Amino acid sequence: MKKNLPMIIRVLISALFLLSAFAKLYPTPMFGITKVFEQGQLIPMGFPEDLVPYLSRFILAIELLIAFAILQRNYLKKLIIPSSIGLLVLFSLHLTYSIFLGDTENCGCFGDLIPMTPFQALVKNLITIVVLMYLYKNTTDDKENVFSKLSIQFLSLLLVMFAFLPVSSQTNSEKSSFVSFVDDEKFKNSEDYKILCYFDAGCEHCQHTARSLDSLSKLSDNFPPVHIVFSDTEQENIPNFFEYVGKQYPYQVMPFANYDTDEVDSYMEITFPDYDNPIVILYKGTKQLRLFDGTGYNEYHAEELQILLDK
């Protein structure tokens, strides 16, 4: 058993990195890599937003390379195991910082496939690092390393990542207006103030935002009409969503993704990768006055919306 233990560990580590890579592409590749991994993990780590789409694909290629290379002898002790430890240490430092800040939400290590808090992910990483250190100690040097073989594997995986997950070159100005996708013609054609929201029914931030809008509406007799666009990923949670909000607003449900047409007619194509839920947009007629999105620097604030409405 002891003789076979290093190989068993290598198989388990390979499976772990494979799972980590493919979980970041759940439930759909573009949604997983943009919203969950890039916006949920890489951008909070401080990486520039322009660089993040390239970095995310680079990291996925690294994870897949480790998953395949750790089963081989080529540069196993000199490069593959140390690189695996280094990658885990990097993310563990970020997880430690998140725990220090009191973050208890899904860290995105396994995407939305296996939600994990920063603490749970840190424990997982520390255990994996210890196991890898044991593997390093019990692995003999391979004197017949071929760097070109490793390079070809990595470049091939990197090419597959960018071919399978192309970086969008589409700018915000190239997209159609958010309100053009509303199926309520009266709301769409109104020349007065109106508020359009793009929410996921199971998203806590979306629920809190909708409740805040409802509370704000009670302070004014002339509060603008609100229309909500939900994605169908958590459609079954819509009744609970409105129960939490305290009032049901006009809404529609859009398919999260549609791969049968090139037209922009799905929730993901409209919102990702440029915007993150919850999205709240204030219009005056067809003119967009303010767009709030996500839970960072551009997140929705009731006070700012009230100031805009009072002008």
How confident is the model over 145-159, as pLDDT tens digits? 999 999 999 999 999
Nearest CA among 96, 252, 278 for reference residue 179: 252
Same domain, 10 and 158: yes
Which of 104, 135, 164 marks a domain boundary? 164
Same domain, 19 and 155: yes
In this prediction, residue 200 has a pLDDT band, given cuts at 50, 70 and 90, of very high
pLDDT at residue 176 greater than cutoff 80 = no
- From 109, 135, 164, give the residue that closes a domain: 164
Hey, what long-range contacts does 52-56 have (CB within 8 A, 24 or more apart)?
A: 53/167, 53/168, 53/273, 54/167, 56/24
Note whether 131 and 177 are same-domain residues.
no
Beta pairing partners, 101 = none
* Tokens 């990291």 sit on residue: 59
Q: So what's the pLDDT on residue 273?
A: 67
Pair 228, 192 in one domain: yes
- Lowest-pLDDT choice from 22-36, 106-120, 228-242: 22-36
Distance CA(184)–CA(273), nearest Å, equals: 25
Pairs from 305-309 (Cβ < 8 Å, separation ≥ 24): 305/195, 305/213, 305/216, 305/280, 306/216, 306/219, 308/282, 309/193, 309/220, 309/223, 309/224, 309/282
Task: Using alpha carbons, select from 41, 3, 8 the residue that is nearest to residue 24.
Answer: 41
Contact 181, 231 (CB under 8 A): no
Backbone torsions φ then ψ of 289, nearest 5 degrees: -90, -35
Beta bridge partners of 282: 195, 290
Q: Write the CATH number for 305.
A: 3.40.30.10
Quick one: 66 and 140 in the same domain?
A: yes
Residue 14 and residue 143 in one domain: yes
CA distances from 257 to 30, 205, 261, 271 (A): 10, 22, 10, 11
Looking at the structure, do residues 118 and 265 belong to the same domain, yes or no? no
* pLDDT score recorded for residue 258: 65
CA neighbor of 121 nearest in space, from 135, 133, 136, 105:
105
Query: Residue 149 contacts by C-beta under 8 Å, 6 or more apart in sequence?
Result: 74
Q: In this structure, what token pair is assigned to residue 2? A: 């002891």
292-300 mean pLDDT: 87
Q: What pLDDT does 36 receive?
A: 76
Q: Is 177 helix (H, G, I), strand (E, B) or coil?
A: coil
Tell me: do 127 and 180 sit in the same domain. no
Is residue 255 over pLDDT 50? yes
Strands of 287-292's sheet, edge to edge? Answer: 251-254, 226-231, 193-199, 279-284, 287-292
Residue ranges making up the domain that contains 104: 5-164
More confident residue, 44 or 283: 283
Q: Do 213 and 283 have their domain in common?
A: yes
Q: Are residues 14 and 147 in the same domain?
A: yes
Confidence of residue 172 (pLDDT cuts 50, 70, 90): very low
Find, among 27, 6, 10, 8, the residue nearest to 18 by Cα: 10
Residues 158 and 49 in one domain: yes
* 14, 115: one domain: yes
What local confidence, expressed as pLDDT, does residue 74 receive? 94
SS3 160: helix
pLDDT above 80 (res 174): no
Out of 147, 164, 181, a domain closes at: 164
Vertex 133 angle, CA 22 and 84, to 5° = 30
Across the strands, what pairs with 234?
Answer: none
Q: Is the pLDDT of residue 193 over 70?
A: yes
pLDDT of residue 38: 81
d(CA 91, CA 109): 9
Question: How many domains is the chain built from?
Answer: 2
